[in-house]
Amino acid sequence: NKVNSELADVLGNFVYRTTSFTENYFDGQVPELTDPTDKDRQTLAKIASQKEKITAAYEDFKLREAIAETMNLARIGNKYFTEMEPWQTRKDDRETCGNTLHVCLQITAALSVLFDPIMPNKMAELRSELNINANISWDSVSDAILQSGTSINKGAILFEKIEDEQIEEQLNKLKE
């Protein structure tokens, strides 16, 4: 349930929607943030506020809380993406669509570092897709990790859903 509802549906879906939209409608390049709205700025500010919560949780060895707060940042990104409707704005308001993707890409970049302690291999793959330096530090997490014009690569789906048949197969192996 956690893999399907959290990793695949929340994090994986957000990352895939963001990178595929960027690939399809902005030639795989981080759009410029132009005349951002209050909503754009408030959403970008969530990166710093979530990073503070996540950092505090790790420092207090509260791993579940750290994971939950990191996942909350992915939820914030998903909610913003859905509310901004880039599938509509790409047709009649390219600047708004570009701003939406810029914000979502910055959240994705932040997530690639903030989830690194829990999923280092997957987050290394994500940083590679985003052309982020593999040695980026925790202190570098901000709302401006990616520069406008940076090329990104739409990767494969980050997390595949686990089907009931796969679960049943594994349970049968355990019983044997």
pLDDT of residue 64: 92
pLDDT of residue 12: 84
pLDDT of residue 174: 77
The CA-CA-CA angle for residues 72, 78, 84, to 5°, reads: 135
pLDDT of residue 4: 45
pLDDT of residue 30: 97
CA 126, CA 158: separation in Å to the nearest integer? 8
At position 109, the amino acid (one-letter code) is: A
Q: How far is CA 65 from CA 45, 62, 153, 165, in A?
A: 20, 5, 31, 31
pLDDT of residue 170: 67
pLDDT of residue 168: 67
Give the DSSP per-residue string, 112-172: HHHTTTT-HHHHHHHHHHTT--TT--GGG-STTSSPTT-B----S-SSPPPPHHHHHHHHH
Q: Tell me if 11 sits within 8 A of 111, measured CB to CB.
A: yes
Chunk the chain into consecutive blocks of 10 residues (it has 176) and report each block's average pLDDT, rounded to whole numbers: 58 90 95 97 98 97 95 96 95 96 97 94 93 93 96 75 62 74
* DSSP 8-class letter at 29: B
What's the predicted TM-score (pTM) here? Answer: 0.88
